[in-house]
Amino acid sequence: MTITTDEVYETASMILQQNLDIRTTTLGINLMDCIDTDFEKFKTKVYDKIQNNASKLVSEADRLGLKYGVPIVNKRISVTPISLIMGTHPTKEKFIEIAETLDKAAKDSGIDFIGGFGALVHKGQTKCDSVLIDSLPDVLSSTERVCSFINAGSNIAGLNLDAVNEIGRMLKKTAEKNVIGCAKFVVFANAPEDNPFMAGAFHGVGEPDFSLNIGISGPGVVKHVVDKHPDCDLTALSEIIKRTVFKITRAGELIGRELANNLGVPFGIVDLSLAPTTAAGDSVANILESFGLEKVGAHGSTMAVALLINAVKKGGAMASGNIGGLSGTFIPVSEDLGMIDAVEKGALNLDKLEALTAVCSVGLDMFAIPGDTPAETISAIIADELAIGVVNNKTTGVRVIPVPGKKPGDSIDFGGLLGRAPVMKVNRFSSAAFMKRGGRMPAPITSLRN
């Protein structure tokens, strides 16, 4: 196939001027074969398997980035959910030790983050699951690169409210120890087993021994083409975005397949998620404002997000037969300059943010709330969001950060990739009596479609 000069220029412009990049290359590693009743041997096996493979990922990704001139921003590892391999070592102290082992392996090999310190509790909890949740305040506050997830609901099993209640209390404790720890934890409904993005990445039980998953991102590229067509109708706008995402996805699949081949591991999936950063011109909120919204949060915002994600998924599906992960539109507050601005100007509140997540397929992400918010209210915020996922058969997640000593209108600067979060107002009426009921919200009738 002949490549024209215009196509070369277009691709170069996407990279140099519109922030196109491979946001993450995430190598999934099965740790089941590391299980050992001798805890010291177990830790050594885990460290060696991660460090050896992670080092290869870093060197090969760097080499490939130079070859194609496409930035590969993050190199990450996801592992088997840790609660599944700690059955012979079910103590809080040993969970903390294995987290420190993961952290050291990631640091020594040059990995940005390592995901999978988590559990699947959507229908109930084992002893290991409960001990893991109890260890999280210490784990998240004392490690640098370990990320954690809990899957607390699914459209087949319903929603485990007992686990959600534990998570609310856990987040309060974590924030008191180190508020950044909360940014490394996400609670899901319908968590995908091949998600390459942190904090929720883990290597699912249905995955092979190794799998290389790619997360691409180009909010700046999408915004650029939208800005070039200010007067087209929604049908034409959708088509423009779809064709643009097709090109982005093809680039991601090319690099992902070559990287997997160089590592000698199976290629997994391309995640289509538009992931913003705090860099100028790399905002999902700004795309929506280019549609014609004065600010995200204005009436029409939910439809705009729905149109955007629909076009993104159609374009990606045309480009690759290996679409997976979250493949949604991230709308984190702290990591998107447009979202920060919308909150600070009063255009976007927590209730409207929740409404947007009903169609964005990712969830309430990286938002800060007052530190004096009761644990029951935090759990209720999580439960509301996960219920959207359970009832609508979609993935939803929550990364909420209760900031000690802060009130609505204040701000906290996390620095780097995590950005800056304005503290959002929370409904002060209590959910405590409702949440105290506990138990499990039954799955919707759609779970019986077999």
pTM above 0.85, yes or no: yes
At 242-268, the pLDDT tens digits run 988 888 888 888 888 999 999 999 999
Nearest to 295 by CA among 343, 235, 245, 342: 342
Q: Would you state the pLDDT for residue 426? A: 96
**215-448 maps to CATH 3.40.50.300:** no
Residue 419's pLDDT is 82
Tokens linked to 29 = 């590693």
What's the residue count for the chain?
450
Whether 146 and 111 have beta carbons less than 8 Å apart is answered as: no
Domains of the chain: which residue ranges?
Answer: 27-189, 215-448
pLDDT in tens, 107-123: 999 999 999 999 999 99
Confidence of residue 333 (pLDDT cuts 50, 70, 90): very high
User: Tell me: the pLDDT tens digits for 123-174?
Assistant: 999 999 999 999 999 999 999 999 999 999 999 999 999 999 999 999 999 9
Q: Which of 131, 197, 188 is nearest to 157 (CA)?
A: 188
First to last CA, the chain: 45
- The first and second tokens of residue 281, run together, are 């011109």
Residues 262 and 64 sit within 8 Å (Cβ to Cβ): yes
Cα 335 to Cα 356: distance, rounded to the nearest angstrom: 16
Q: Write down the H helix ranges in 18-126.
A: 39-68, 92-109
Asked if the domains 27-189 and 215-448 are classified in one and the same CATH topology, the answer is yes
Residue 421: which H helix or E strand, with range?
A: strand 420-422
pLDDT at 305: 94
Tell me if 308 sits within 8 A of 225, measured CB to CB: no
Q: What is the CATH number of domain 27-189?
A: 3.20.70.20
Token pair 């609508």 is found at 392
Token duo for residue 28: 């999934």
Task: Quickly state the pLDDT bin for 320 (edges 50, 70, 90).
Answer: confident
- For the stretch 52-103, pLDDT in tens is 999 999 999 999 888 877 788 889 999 999 999 999 999 999 999 999 999 9
CA–CA distances in Å: residue 42 to residues 45, 56, 208, 264: 5, 22, 21, 25
Look at residue 19 in the predicted model and tell me its pLDDT. 58
> What confidence tier does 367 reach under pLDDT thresholds 50, 70, 90?
very high
Q: Rounded to whole angstroms, how far apart are CA atoms 151 and 12? A: 40
| Dihedral over Cα of 232, 218, 395, 162: its sign | negative
